[in-house]
Every structure is written in structure tokens, then in C-alpha cells.
Chain A
Amino acid sequence: AQKITQTQPGMFVQEKEAVTLDCTYDTSDPSYGLFWYKQPSSGEMIFLIYQGSYDQQNATEGRYSLNFQKARKSANLVISASQLGDSAMYFCAMRESGGAQKLVFGQGTRLTINP
């Protein structure tokens, strides 16, 4: 069965520092997708970044990048130059192959940016 593990329940970072949020996954399927979502206190899940299992390059979206290490089965999110507005819950998720496109989520990491 597919599984996502986020080992950091909470992280505290100074504003403008870079931060890495850890995510490891387990699957026997050679084709999969990895997603990161942000959930501010308002509750809505906001899509941040996607990495496909066959992608050769690490995904980047503005200040967000994904450190994809396939052999280690890790997909860490890196946020550069953190801002106060980055304070939120962050979820890593994996999509199963097949038509239903279900996502399996990790437990989440609560990131707090200190001024």
C-alpha cells in the first residue's frame, strides 16, 4: 500500500531563512506523482508544486522547489527566503496510478515563521 510520512509535526523558522520540509514515501508502483499543498488557518488547501516519478529535473515554482531523491524515496519541499505568510500547515501527497487519481496524504507539518 502507498504511504506518505512527514516526520516533522512542527517547525519554527526565522523570516527570510530557507526551510526544508521532509516527506518520504513508499510505493511499488513505478509511475506516481508527488504533490505539496499549503493549508493556511482559513482551511483551504492550496496546491504548491508537483513532481512526476519520471521527471528528470527537480520541480520549481517561484520560491518553492522540490528536492526529489528517487532512490531514497524522498520528496522534500524547500521554501527559499521564507515570509510571514508562509506560516501554515503543509501536506505532502502521492497520487496512485490508474484512472481514479486518488491522493494519499501525509500527516502534515505546521510551519511557523517568526519575525
Chain B
Amino acid sequence: DVKVTQSSRYLVKRTGEKVFLECVQDMDHENMFWYRQDPGLGLRLIYFSYDVKMKEKGDIPEGYSVSREKKERFSLILESASTNQTSMYLCASSSRTSGDHTDTQYFGPGTRLTVL
């Protein structure tokens, strides 16, 4: 079974703090993704990576950065947390094959971040 783990299920931080969210997958997937989920908005893509040290901006990258030093690990960084970054953060991974559901994205359990 594909396993995607995230470092914390719940996190509470203060405005201005630097926040690290870690994601690890054990299926040797090339692609990794960070989403945030807000009520009524579905999931929105923050950043993604298709290879080690490669990163691409998603739809809402402002206020975030990412790091992918190893294939299995993809970190999301909030340089200076703000209250509008209070949200559920979901990490996902997928293989690079294309054309059928074998490239399905598999998700971690999510981190619910509260910024006070």
C-alpha cells in the first residue's frame, strides 16, 4: 500500500513564526504536491515537485515556499505565518506514468494548522 505521512496532525503557531510541514512517501513516487483545503473552496494547489530539487508554483504559492532535497520528502515552509494561513494542509504523491489511473495521487492524513 502507498503510504504518505505528514509530520503533524494538528499544529498551533503564532503570527510571524516560521513553520515547517513535512511530508514523506514510501512508494518512490516522482511527483509530490502540497494543497490547502478550505470550506467551500475545495483543494487548491500551493506547490508541486516532479523531481528532486525541482519545484513549480501552483495556484496559490504566495506566502509559501517548498524544499525537496530527497525524493521521498517534500517540505512546505511558511516563512512568516499569518492568520489567513490557518487551514488544512494536504500532501500527495504520484508516479510519473501517465494515461491511466496508475498515476493517481495518494494523500497523507493532513495537517490542521492554526495561526494565532
Residue of A91, A103, A106 with highest tally of chain B CB at under 10 A: A103
With the chains together, A91 CA to B44 CA distance in Å? 12
Neighbouring B residues of A52 by C-beta, 8 Å: 99-101
Considering the chains assembled together, what is the distance between the CA atoms of A45 and B9 in angstroms? Answer: 14
In the complex, what residues of A have CB within 8 A of residue B25's CB? Answer: none
Give min CB distance, B31 to chain A, whole Å. Answer: 6
**Contact assessment for B40 and A103 in the assembled complex, using a CB-CB cutoff below 8 Å:** no
Contact sample, A vs B, 27 pairs, CB 8 Å cutoff: A4-B42, A9-B40, A33-B101, A35-B101, A35-B104, A35-B105, A37-B107, A43-B9, A43-B110, A43-B112, A45-B43, A45-B107, A46-B107, A47-B101, A47-B105, A50-B101, A93-B43, A99-B98, A101-B31, A101-B94, A102-B45, A102-B48, A103-B33, A104-B45, A105-B35, A107-B40, A107-B41
Give chain B's interface residues, CB within 8 Å of chain A: 9, 31, 33, 35, 40-45, 48, 50, 56, 58, 88, 90, 92, 94, 96, 98-101, 103-110, 112
